[in-house]
A and B are shown apart, each in its own frame.
Chain A
Amino acid sequence: MASSILLNALPGVADTLFVPLQVEYYTAQLFNGLVLGMILVLISLGLTIIFGLLGVINFAHGDLLLVGTYVSWTVMDATGSFLLSIGAALVATLVLGMILERTLLRYTYGRHGALLQLLLTFGIAELIRGLVILVWGRTGKNFATPSWGSSSIDLVLFTYPVYRVFVIVAAAALIVAVYLFLNRTDLGLLIRAGTQDREMVDMLGIDVSRLYMLVFGIGVALAGTAGALIGPVRGAFPTLGIELLIPAFVVVVVGGLGSFRGSVVAGILIGELQVMTGVFYSEASQAIVFVFMALVLLVRPRGLFGQEGVVE
């Protein structure tokens, strides 16, 4: 992202402050990578949970994230409360996801479903982006950082913006919550069982179709919440979702399709890789993630933690 010639300048600056400056600098850049990484984890978790149970590769995921960003912006603009705006984005995208699953996606399961799903989710993506442009305009919205997050906090080694620390913490809390939901609740147990053997769960008298609806809603809500969190960092504009969806797909592939742990590890790895590559050679910061993906697939074709059709 940033083409830096700072390193050329550092030797002169660093005569007296070499070590402290370097540590502060690289730690701050690692945190920048972590912010991006945590957002990617949230987006890819949604993708991977949906794929794990429904077998659907959701190409509308980025634009559903966009809905979260714009709903959050609207609520923030109207009420001034950012926390309320995150809640609104979460609920709105959860409901929207469930409606889309019930009214459209459910008809695509079964034979030739993959092709239909691909076309359908592409169509939904285009439709949503068109509606976003229609409602909120093409030029984008300036998404203000909440007042409590618009300064920096002293983290001993360096100072870092409060809001970005909040993004890291909030994303981590959400990831843990989803993990606990999947592993410590009866509903989570059913979802994991459905992921491993849908027919068996169906035969036990469990309404799998409702599970599908719920899981699609939760997956989309994770994207919507990520969209709300990234708003003050990047702003709200119609191509935001597409920009984030591409690296999120890379995360899912690198982590392993359907792998919770894989999404978390790969999300943070890709975020750091992108930012730290930019520190040394910005021209490669976008391409590096695809090179990394290719290398991982050469060594582990199912990704770092991938097991076919399983949410771990």
Chain B
Amino acid sequence: MPKDANNSGTSRRQYLKYASAGSAVALAGCLTGDSGSGSESIMIGATIPESGPYGNIGKNQVKGVELAVKHANEDGDVSDTEVEVAFRDTKTDTQEATQVARELLRQENADFLAGNFSSSVALAIGELAQREDVIYTCVGGSNAITGSDCRSNVFNAGNSAVQQTSGGLKYALDEGLGESVYEISADYSWGQSIQAWNENQIVSSYDDVEYLGNSFVEFGATDYSQAITDARSSGADIISFNLFASNHVQSARQADEYDLFDDFVCVWPATGIIEAEQIGSDILSRDNFYASAPWYWQHEAEGAQAFSEAFQSEYGERPLGFSASMYAGVRTTLKAIDAAGGTETADIRDQMEDRELFPQLWGVGEKFRACDHRASISTMTVQGRDPSDVDGQNFFEVINVPQNPEETQMRTCDQTGCSF
């Protein structure tokens, strides 16, 4: 259930205020009437994995945040106040992430936290942000982040497991690509979220579709032969590989090894250009390869194209979906701070709820939904281009971009189990 900041006892900001005041009294022996921080800048505490299994994705997201800060200062997102950022490496480890987030608050005096794309890390930092009474703008697919474990200070600029699977399995079923489903799922919060949603909500909503089973694979496993043999023997028409990043790459390669693309429609719920590069266009271009992409640099929305070009020009590489989400998430938070007229958490929160993301990288009026703080971004469905058509990193053909994701791709507010 949602935890309210007002119930968490003394907040970090109050603590700092009392501590500062106490120190001032002790040192100067007099009282001052001004308890404000006197800060002339906004400090962002960015918690992003730069090493560990997802370090390569994290490094791209770091650039997304850097660019957001640069553009915010150029465009005056927070009026005349300068925006700064301090980064810490979470290593995609919940304990490490909590520790570095605390460091950012204590040592760098971060005004809000931002960054990351791991569900378990988002849950851990979210809990800390609630306790410390600061805003945390994150990306994380687990439904729990904006559902059963939601926190009022947490705003999620990425798509949820529900949104992700809408671009994958749901699309395949809507298009009539099969009548039975088997899943191979990563055995951690994100994979469990997708598996449960697919089985209990997506598949069961079709009268003529049969759910044949699921194989969980443990975190860190890289050989899926056993699970693939399970899936192949199930006789399903569609196999949903609920596996992320390098596991997505490895499973796509092994699906090809086992000739699954000949007989099965294979869907992945979250793909991007890093995965595409590693999988290779020979496999991506198989007829039965379908994946959902949280965002893709060739998205035709005006905001997306401007962001892609700026990112490419600044760093000489393409932005990933997680970086796009974080770019928009950070700039939207800064706009909310400006509108709130300060860094008081409750005021920022009020300004962020139902605020449209800035800039509009999906071009569908996406916003931070007030009831669960999840961004109503549109998850697209992609297939691989023919290898002869691939030039640079244009690996995908976008085959579907829902225009009203809040109605077609998201849980209703009642379904989330979260209501602010």
Residues of A whose CB lies within 8 Å of any CB of B are 1-6, 8-10, 12-13, 17, 21, 24-25, 28-29, 32, 35-36, 137-140, 142, 144-145, 149-152, 159, 161-164, 233-235, 237, 239, 275, 278-279, 282
Q: B215 to chain A: which residues have CB within 8 Å?
A: 2-6, 282
Contact B257 A142 (CB under 8 A): no
Q: Which of B52, B212, B232 contacts A139 (CB 8 A)?
A: B52
Contact B55 A145 (CB under 8 A): no
Contact B230 A4 (CB under 8 A): yes
Given contacts A3-B187, A25-B233, contact A234 B222 (CB under 8 A): yes
In the complex, besides A5-B215, A32-B226, 12 extra interface pairs with C-beta distance below 8 angstroms are A2-B230, A4-B213, A6-B212, A13-B234, A17-B235, A24-B233, A139-B55, A139-B56, A144-B280, A150-B257, A235-B246, A275-B226
Tell me the total A-B contact number using a CB cutoff of 8 A: 125
Across the interface, name the chain B residue whose C-beta is closest to A152: B259
Q: Which of B171-195 contact A (CB under 8 A)?
A: 182, 184, 187
Q: A1 to chain B: which residues have CB within 8 Å?
A: 217-218, 221, 223, 226-227
- Cα(A279)–Cα(B217), bound, Å: 12
Across the interface, name the chain B residue whose C-beta is closest to A159: B259
11 A/B residue pairs, CB under 8 Å, sorted by A? A1-B221, A3-B187, A4-B214, A5-B214, A8-B213, A32-B225, A139-B55, A145-B256, A151-B257, A152-B259, A279-B230
Contact A233 B52 (CB under 8 A): no
- Cα(A5)–Cα(B230), bound, Å: 9
- Cα(A76)–Cα(B216), bound, Å: 32
Q: Which of B226, B234, B250 contacts A235 (CB 8 A)?
A: B250
Q: A25 to chain B: which residues have CB within 8 Å?
A: 229, 233
Q: B235 to chain A: which residues have CB within 8 Å?
A: 13, 17, 21
Contact A139 B53 (CB under 8 A): yes
Q: A2 to chain B: which residues have CB within 8 Å?
A: 184, 215-217, 224, 226-227, 230
Rank and list the top 7 A-B pairs by shortest CB-CB distance, nearest first. A2-B227, A3-B216, A161-B257, A2-B215, A25-B233, A142-B278, A9-B213
Across the interface, name the chain A residue whose C-beta is closest to B56: A139
Q: How far is the CB of B178 from chain A (nearest CB, A)?
A: 15
Contact A139 B187 (CB under 8 A): no
Q: Which of A137, A142, A163, A275 contacts B249 (CB 8 A)?
A: A142
Q: A5 to chain B: which residues have CB within 8 Å?
A: 213-215
For the complex, would chain A's binding face be called helix, strand, loop or mixed by DSSP majority? helix
Given contacts A5-B214, A138-B51, contact A234 B258 (CB under 8 A): no
Interface size on B, residues (CB 8 A): 43
Q: Is B299 an interface residue (CB 8 A)?
A: no
Q: How far is the CB of A118 from chain B (nearest CB, A)?
A: 27
Q: A21 to chain B: which residues have CB within 8 Å?
A: 233, 235
Across the interface, name the chain B residue whose C-beta is closest to A35: B225
Contact A278 B52 (CB under 8 A): no
Q: Is B253 an interface residue (CB 8 A)?
A: yes
> Which of A9, A36, A144, A161: most chain B CB closer than 10 A?
A9
Q: A8 to chain B: which residues have CB within 8 Å?
A: 213
Q: A28 to chain B: which residues have CB within 8 Å?
A: 229, 232-233
Contact A145 B257 (CB under 8 A): yes
Q: Which of B200-259 contact A (CB under 8 A)?
A: 210, 212-218, 220-227, 229-235, 246, 249-250, 253-254, 256-259
Residues 31-61 of B, flagged 1 when their CB comes within 8 A of A and 0 if not, give 0000000000000000000011111100000
Q: How far is the CB of B220 from chain A (nearest CB, A)?
A: 8
Contact B257 A152 (CB under 8 A): yes
- Cα(A150)–Cα(B55), bound, Å: 28
Contact A235 B222 (CB under 8 A): yes
Q: How far is the CB of A251 from chain B (nearest CB, A)?
A: 17
> Which of A5, A8, A13, A278: most chain B CB closer than 10 A?
A5
Q: How far is the CB of B91 from chain A (nearest CB, A)?
A: 9
Across the interface, name the chain B residue whose C-beta is closest to A22: B233
Contact A279 B250 (CB under 8 A): no
Q: Which of A139, A145, A237 contacts B253 (CB 8 A)?
A: A145
Q: A152 to chain B: which residues have CB within 8 Å?
A: 257-259
Q: How far is the CB of A156 from chain B (nearest CB, A)?
A: 16
Contact A278 B257 (CB under 8 A): no
Q: Which of B51, B226, B249, B258 contacts A278 (CB 8 A)?
A: B226
Q: A237 to chain B: which residues have CB within 8 Å?
A: 53, 222
Across the interface, name the chain A residue whose C-beta is closest to B283: A150
Contact B229 A151 (CB under 8 A): no
Q: Which of A137, A163, A235 contacts B257 (CB 8 A)?
A: A163
Q: Which of A6, A36, A235 contacts B230 (CB 8 A)?
A: A6
Contact B226 A6 (CB under 8 A): no
Q: B253 to chain A: which residues have CB within 8 Å?
A: 142, 144-145, 150
Q: A234 to chain B: which residues have CB within 8 Å?
A: 222-223, 250
Q: How far is the CB of A247 from chain B (nearest CB, A)?
A: 13
- Cα(A145)–Cα(B258), bound, Å: 12
- Cα(A142)–Cα(B298), bound, Å: 25
Contact B257 A4 (CB under 8 A): no
- Cα(A24)–Cα(B229), bound, Å: 10
Q: How far is the CB of A240 from chain B (nearest CB, A)?
A: 8
- Cα(A145)–Cα(B231), bound, Å: 21
Q: How far is the CB of B244 from chain A (nearest CB, A)?
A: 14
- Cα(A142)–Cα(B275), bound, Å: 10
> Which of B52, B182, B215, B221: most chain A CB closer than 10 A?
B215
Q: B280 to chain A: which residues have CB within 8 Å?
A: 144
Residues 251-281 of B, flagged 1 when their CB comes within 8 A of A and 0 if not, give 0011011110000000000000000001010
Q: How far is the CB of A287 from chain B (nearest CB, A)?
A: 12
Contact A6 B234 (CB under 8 A): yes
